[in-house]
Chain A
Amino acid sequence: MVSEVVKRQNKYQAAFEALKSRKPTAAWIELVRDSAMDRFESLGFPTVAEEEWKYTNLAELSKQHFNPASSHEGNDYKAAQFSFPETANSHIVLVNGNFRRDLSTTEKLGGVVVLDLLDAIANASYSKVVREYLARNASYHDRGLTALNTAFLESGVFVLVPRNVELESPLQITFVADSLYGNTANFPRVLLVAEENSSLKLVERFVSAGQQATFTNAVVEIVLLDGARLKHDRLQQEGPQAFHIATTAAELGHGSSYNTTAVNLGAKLARHDISVVMNHEGAECWVDGLYVVGSSQHSDTHSVIDHKQPNCNSHQLYKGILDDNGRAVFNGKIFVREGAQKTDAMQTNKNLLLSPRARVDTKPQLEIYADDVKCAHGAAVGQIDQEELFYLATRGINPALGKSLLTYGFAEEVIGKIGLDSIRAQLDQAVLSQIHTELGPQADVSDML
């Protein structure tokens, strides 16, 4: 129970009342939404007074008015502009959080189930699994933003990879933040459950449409059951008027493998919370990422990798490129719980500052409560190396081009981890254009000699 006194001014109350007038497909969802709204009213937006939000100020976001996109309205798009050649026939499009079946292509999904999350709840075959896992790894009880997302749960995507199913084509989910009708808030939600020994490649892509401000508050929950494997590439390419808040929460089963690469390029302000909980023995994860910030951009990554059981491995490489007055935050926690023996955890954060006005706050943290473990972490902040530039100059490469080449090389270590060739090629160009330089068409050297 939350008394009216502690309830904060809630710009989202009216939209929530409108949402309540539209009955969801199951009564329990209504209870979850009500409870989440209560939590949001009590918690509100986080402030810089909280340790986890020390360097990311949401004051502008919390004061600005955004209209939650409540119906399936929005532009019509050529969805193909968002997909990649590898995902052309396995492409789900959400516009302002709403599953747009008309824009989605699901020809190549093999045995994989993809449904509007609310339809899955109404479906007797899936309601049980949704109920079991929804809001389990992305808890809304202590996080105001997750609570706000949960309160507005009205669509979203449910992905179920059944036992032993291995999908060859990558599945792409595109999240369009559309401000055609003015400042828009959208609350995309994804629940992905990969059953025993299944395998999936997932591409998440966040983009913007329209020129107005948008507020994306996305929550993606991932459950890998025993022996499941997920390759998860995440591209955040929202527009310059975007506030992008996202939570990725994964739970790993026995012997499962989760390999994710998150690339943050867009948005005015971006915050990505990623958590991987290793609840069972023998799981392994790669939690990698790249953030690139240019003029007036702010990117914050908070990562938690939780080793709760023995014999799990985690690998983390996050890199940042900061230009102009760009700001970035990397906060990476690794917990090794009591009894989680034979843990192997490795964490590295490296940052390249291209401008004296850029700033990064990095904080890798290890908390170890077991004694037979192998853990290492480190962080580095540096600039373009003058000796490297000179070396390139002696090969005829001018300093501006040399700087681009070295920056490209710095990013490549992370981009190279992305599973799809066409994404890698596009990101190479995107990274370079973000730092206002171009290398010209790059040689495809994969078949060199």
Chain B
Amino acid sequence: MLEIRNLHAAIDGKEILKGINLTVNKGEVHAIMGPNGSGKSTLAKVLAGHPDYEVTAGEVLYEGRNLLEMSPDERAREGVFMAFQYPIEVPGVSNAQFLRLAYNEKQKHLALEELDPLEFKDLLKERAKVVEMDASFMTRSVNQGFSGGEKKRNEILQMAVLEPKLAILDETDSGLDIDALRIVAGGVNQLQGPENAIIVVTHYQRLLNYIVPDYVHVLADGQIAREGGKELALELEEKGYDWIKAQMHESGSTVVPAN
């Protein structure tokens, strides 16, 4: 589904990603971990198409197509979704209006049926259960006045409505208490299936107790420093990131395969 080859990316002339290689197949859950500044959020933003980041080398294929040539909104309509670490507030636009607009833009793009407000209301009602959100959130402005946890749940609600093929969750666990974490992770798990894939970007192992990855990739200094299964996350939790950094120095910055 997604193939990242030797991806280099920079912001304001400063190179952040220094040759990322990653393959994600449908049905898989991948975790991207790493210390602050390792480039994991940059990777998420580059995949979503943030205009501030410049891809300086490499390529990204999404379902065999050049993802980097697609505009951010086209990527979204083609099924790429990013849950933001800091979701943006959209004053004056209700959650329901916003979601229907986004949903219908995608449907139109895929030559599928658009829904009128009444039909959409039924769909929204159904999907809202995934993140245990009540009706009052639908008439409120998008993310405005939402708590940190509510914003993250709202991101997952958007994911539930848009049904992406590839969902990238950027630090979705940050700022969540344990109850919100459980709800958010539970929502993601309900949406995961054999036809889609999820990339979970996280600093901490905590979220991975709930969303269990098939593969864990550890970034350090813009490269994948280590790869493994879900047990790698536990090892990191125990030893911390300094251990990876130390190994990188010893091996001269090449990827260290997992045991």
Q: In the complex, what residues of B have CB within 8 A of residue A396's CB?
A: 73, 76-77, 102, 105-106, 109, 162
Flag whether B50 is at the interface (Cβ < 8 A): yes
User: Does B141 belong to the interface (CB within 8 Å)?
Assistant: yes
Give Cα distance in the complex from A399 to B71, angstroms: 10
- Chain A residues lying within 8 Å of B121, measured Cβ to Cβ, are 448-449
Query: Which chain B positions have C-beta within 8 A of A439?
Result: 101
Q: Is the CB of B124 within 8 A of A391?
A: no
Instruction: List B residues 71-114 near A (Cβ within 8 Å).
Output: 71-73, 75-77, 81-82, 84, 87-88, 90-94, 96-98, 100-102, 105-106, 109
Q: How large is the interface on B (under 10, 10 to 19, 20 to 34, 35 or more residues)?
A: 35 or more
Once the chains bind, are B92 and A416 in contact (CB under 8 Å)?
A: yes
Whether B105 contacts A405 by the Cβ 8 Å rule is: no
Residues in B with CB closer than 8 Å to A399 are 73
Centre residue among B87, B105, B128, B158 by max chain A CB count within 10 A: B105
In the complex, A406 Cα to B98 Cα: how many Å? 11
Interchain CB contact under 8 A, B91 and A395: no
- Pick the residue among B76, B98, B124 that contacts A393 (CB under 8 A): B76
Tell me the residues in window 44-72 of chain B with beta carbons closer than 8 Å to chain A beta carbons: 48-51, 71-72
Given contacts A393-B49, A398-B71, contact A446 B92 (CB under 8 A): no
- Docked Cα-Cα span, A99 to B105, in Å, equals 49
Interface core residue of B87, B91, B106 (most chain A CB under 10 Å): B91
Q: A397-B105, A445-B138, A448-B139 are in contact. Are A388 and B117 (CB under 8 A)?
A: no
B105:A390 contact, CB within 8 angstroms? no
Of A184-192, A333-341, A407-415, the one touching chain B? A407-415
Asked if B72 contacts A394 (CB within 8 A), the reply is: yes
Measured between beta carbons, the chain B residues less than 8 angstroms from A416 are: 92
Q: Are B73 and A393 closer than 8 Å at their CB atoms?
A: yes
Q: Which residues of A contact B98 (CB under 8 A)?
A: 395, 405
A-B contact count (CB 8 A): 110
Say yes or no: A411 contacts B92, CB within 8 Å.
yes
B81 engages A413 (CB within 8 Å):
no
- Interchain CB contact under 8 A, A449 and B73: no
Given A388-B88, A409-B92, A443-B97 contact (CB < 8 Å): yes
The answer, yes or no, to whether B125 is at the interface (CB within 8 Å) is: yes
| Separation of A449 and B96 alpha carbons in the complex (Å) | 9
Verify B139–A445 contact, CB threshold 8 A. yes
Chain B CB within 10 Å — which of A395, A406, A412 has the most?
A395
Q: Are B128 and A449 in contact (CB under 8 A)?
A: yes
Cβ 8 A contact of A409, one of B73, B81, B93, B125:
B93
Closest to A402 in B: B73
| B100 in contact with A443 (CB, 8 Å) | yes
A50–B109 CA distance with the chains assembled, in angstroms: 56
Measured CA separation A439–B48 after assembly (Å): 24
Q: Mark A370-400, 1 if CB is under 8 A from B, else 0.
A: 0000000000000001111011111111110
A412-448 residues with Cβ-Cβ distance < 8 A to B are: 412-413, 416, 439, 442-446, 448
Complex contact B73–A443 (CB within 8 A): no
- Contact assessment for B91 and A393 in the assembled complex, using a CB-CB cutoff below 8 Å: no
Chain B residues near A401 (CB-CB < 8 A): 101, 105
Bound: A446/B93 CA distance, A: 12
Query: Taking each of A396, A397, A411, A446, which has the highest tally of chain B beta carbons within 10 Å of its own beta carbon?
Result: A396
Question: Which single member of A394, A398, A444, A448 contacts B82 (CB below 8 Å)?
Answer: A394
**Would you give the shortest CB distance from A363 to chain B, in whole angstroms?**
24
Instruction: List 24 A–B pairs whose Cβ atoms lie within 8 Å, in order of A's numbering.
Output: A385-B88, A391-B88, A393-B49, A393-B71, A394-B73, A394-B81, A395-B105, A395-B158, A396-B109, A398-B73, A398-B105, A406-B90, A408-B93, A409-B93, A410-B91, A410-B92, A411-B92, A443-B94, A443-B96, A444-B117, A448-B117, A448-B124, A449-B124, A449-B138
Q: Nearest 6 A-B pairs (CB), nearest first?
A: A409-B92, A412-B92, A449-B135, A443-B117, A393-B72, A396-B76
Interface residues of A (CB under 8 A from B): 385-388, 390-399, 401-402, 405-406, 408-413, 416, 439, 442-446, 448-449
